Structure 1
Amino acid sequence: MADLIISFDPGASLSRVFFTLDSSKPELLLMEPYTALIPKQSLLSYEEDAIGVSSPENSAWIEYNQQCWGIGLICQRFFADLKLEQPKFELAIYKTLAVVGAIAQKKSLANGASIRLGILFPYGEYSDRKLFEISITGALLNFKWRGEKRSFKLVEFVCRPEGFGLLSRGRTTTHNLRSRKVAVVMIGFRNASILIMDKGAMTSGVTEDLGFHKLVSSVQRRVAGQKPLSLAAAISAAGSKINLKALLPLVRVEDALLQELEIQSIKSAISIAREEYWAVLSSYLHRYIPSDIDEIIFAGGTAHYFKSELNRLFPRPEKISCDALEYLVQQEFLSEKPKSDLSFRLTDNYGFFSYLCKNSQQVVNHA
């Protein structure tokens, strides 16, 4: 039995982690998605100058392979970007070390502890799982967390394509998975993936660079001075009808008349970008989702944003709701936070976490 079980979804808009120590109550850890290569002296100076006590996940930096990486919120001090062009598995190495370091600090986990790690990759990067396993196994044995040497043993590892957690726990239909042809459509910030399961077996999949960042970039080209994640959050909150109140955090000017003009300009940019993005996304989905599909599970924050359009795009197949799993996540982990799409974005990883806990010994042989 591993000392620590982690289920990690290294999303491009948010790093999402469920974990448990010694089969105790599961916990949720969230980290900003940024990574930045930072000079060690800059990080040491940051530690010396810090006022107050920040949570470990918000002051995360690691030293590995003679390089220092800031992870998450700390990166905003050092001109970080989302690095969407880099392979996900490469950045996931640094993010995983930071996740383990943060948990170890929060829970006083000693060096030498054993870890069972699960990670979700887009279908298009699923083939990188062996490279990641080799790299992270060695990295966990010898890295530094905020200047302190840490070492942990990876005793079990399993990687699954994004959407697997919903297949394993999210389906609410009475139909047996082994009698159905199912599509899991995962549309996140970075990309859009389609996973096809036929009678219980994964038969095909595809990933394209068609995540929400495409829509955000299109808006950025039309309006000035907007940061991608802040803009993404506002677009999402504004919804399909583009509620102007949700755009207020994006306003940069102080004059009331100019504020109105700026908001209208942003709204117009979002409206045009939505149409352009949906045209490309809907064409992609039609091209790769088989006509004989029995049911579709939509997942990811972008799918939540385009829920009505997606349902109209595929009227015939049964749309499987993950409402029960979403409600469970909201009640167990987010009850103190305002209702948002975060619970929806966490369902895939929570389903995967449940799978890891239930199948602790079997997963190793099928990773």
Structure 2
Amino acid sequence: MAKETQTITICIDLGSSLTKVVWSLDNSPDINFLTMEPEIIECDYGHLDTYRSKRINLHSASKDDAWVNLKDNKQSSFAIGFLASALLAEANLKALKYESALYKILAVLGIIAEQTQFRLAINLTILLPWSEWNDQSKLKEQIKKEAKSFLFRGKLINLRVLNCMCIPEGAGITLNRYTGILIKSNKFITTLVFGHRNTSILTFQRGMMIEANTTNLGFFRLIDRIIELTSGLDRKLLNKIVYQLGDPVNPDNPILNQLCMSQIPQNLQREKDEILVAIRTAQQYYWALISQWLQKQVPKSLSEVVVAGGAGKYLYHRLQEHFSTISTYWGTDWQDLIEASPQFKNLDLHEECRDILAFRLVDAYAAHSYQLKSLHDSQNQKSIPTPV
């Protein structure tokens, strides 16, 4: 018996530290969430099969055991997310996002297809860094071609992409913020996106984006500096702990101890103090880089600054002080909606803090909402009779 076809609207934010997904079925009011580790690794199918056959599994969700094969290259598998990290892949911060995007997107679509058990027709929005936005035509062409027939976890998946749209990171929250508002002022609206790999600025005047720029001053710069000033710290653990510690750091926060390796009590405090000094030094260094970039890039005559991206939340106090005379918008209304969602409350967070993850999802959630509105408006226009 043929599967029922359902239309799905989905937004994928291909973050360098976390893949974030917001999706909904057209016949359901529920907004669903999915997150995956950013790692991806290409490996021979035989190697992958051997690895999987020898490990001991208790239970794993499909998102934690995800791999993709293109239909015309079944011997070469791409492990995505947790499975890729288990195969010792590392997030490649130098590679272009769009080059690995195809496999990550197919994995996400495979997970949802497996979960819903429907044949899916897809309205897709992808968030890309501004610096890679010009590559969107290549990516959209690849997705439309490969989504028709690919292998996910060894099973054939056939999908139909109805619409595929790429927008710059930060555009989701901005489009929703200003849709329907007639902006007459000559003052600028600036959207700042603080990511793990890079930081971007989108500048708008009279409702139109007039300028954009991306720099490689991502959160990883802060982590790099801490690693330079310390010994033996694990990058992945540092990413998690440093973000949770926030800025400024409370020296009495017990999670600082998770970074210490000493087993001798008298050495433990000394190690903790050294790590604390390294973090504070790195914070000053990182903010100096960011603030200098802001001074060069942000227009002088501003009506509002929109802030997106997880590293933006980390820099909250510094950014509020920097823009003390200007209105700032952080999408807290969207964050509240996300946190109140039953689907979000049931989301397996793994090592994420719930409020931090909610903020990181704001841009994708807002982009998904904007996409739903656009599709609804488009359908309404088609149904309006036209004069003969």
Q: TM-score, normalising length from structure 1?
A: 0.92
Among residues 270, 274, 277, which one is paired with 1:268 in the alignment?
277
Alignment partner of 1:245 is 2:254: yes
2:63 aligned residue: 57
1:6 aligned residue: 10
For the 8 Å contact 1:329–1:343, the answer to whether it is kept is: yes
Alpha-carbon distance in structure 2 between the residues aligned to 1:261 and 1:132: 50
For the 8 Å contact 2:6–2:118, the answer to whether it is kept is: no
For the 8 Å contact 1:356–1:363, the answer to whether it is kept is: no
For the 8 Å contact 1:38–1:78, the answer to whether it is kept is: no
TM-aligned CA deviation for residue 363 of structure 1: 8.0
Alignment partner of 1:353 is 2:364: no
Which 4+ runs in 1 deviate beyond 6 A? Answer: 361-364
For the 8 Å contact 1:170–1:325, the answer to whether it is kept is: no
Match runs of 1:129-278 below 5 Å: 129-170=136-177, 176-177=182-183, 179=185, 181-243=188-250, 244-278=253-287
Structure 1 residues not aligned, in runs of 5+: none
Alpha-carbon distance in structure 1 between the residues aligned to 2:377 and 2:19: 26
1:335 aligned residue: 345
Aligned with 1:303: secondary structure? helix
Counterpart of 2:345, as a letter, is: S
Alpha-carbon distance in structure 1 between the residues aligned to 2:65 and 2:271: 34
Counterpart of 2:9, as a letter, is: I
TM-aligned CA deviation for residue 75 of structure 1: 1.5
Moved more, 124-133 or 221-230: 221-230
Structure 2 residues not aligned, in runs of 5+: 380-388
For the 8 Å contact 1:190–1:209, the answer to whether it is kept is: yes
Counterpart of 1:135, as a letter, is: Q
Structure 1 residues 27 and 177: CA distance shift in structure 2, 3 A: farther
TM-aligned CA deviation for residue 210 of structure 1: 0.6
Q: State which structure, 1 or 2, has the greater radius of gyration over its C-alpha atoms.
A: 2
Q: TM-score, normalising length from structure 2?
A: 0.87
> Deviation string for 1:243-274 (max 9, x for gaps)?
34222222233322333222222211111111
1:344 aligned residue: 359
Counterpart of 2:67, as a letter, is: W
Structure 1 residues 201 and 246: CA distance shift in structure 2, 3 A: same
Counterpart of 2:37, as a letter, is: E
Alpha-carbon distance in structure 1 between the residues aligned to 2:300 and 2:378: 32
Counterpart of 2:371, as a letter, is: L
Among residues 321, 326, 330, which one is paired with 1:312 in the alignment?
321
Counterpart of 2:39, as a letter, is: Y
For the 8 Å contact 1:6–1:353, the answer to whether it is kept is: yes
**Considering only aligned residues, what root-mean-square deviation do their CA atoms show, in Å?**
2.2
Alpha-carbon distance in structure 1 between the residues aligned to 2:177 and 2:277: 37
For the 8 Å contact 2:189–2:305, the answer to whether it is kept is: yes
Alpha-carbon distance in structure 2 between the residues aligned to 1:45 and 1:140: 27
TM-aligned CA deviation for residue 361 of structure 1: 6.7
Alpha-carbon distance in structure 2 between the residues aligned to 1:357 and 1:309: 35
> Deviation string for 1:279-319 (max 9, x for gaps)?
11111111011111211011111111111111221233221
Among residues 43, 48, 53, which one is paired with 1:43 in the alignment?
48
- Percentage identity across aligned positions? 27
Equivalenced residues, count: 361
2:382 aligned residue: none
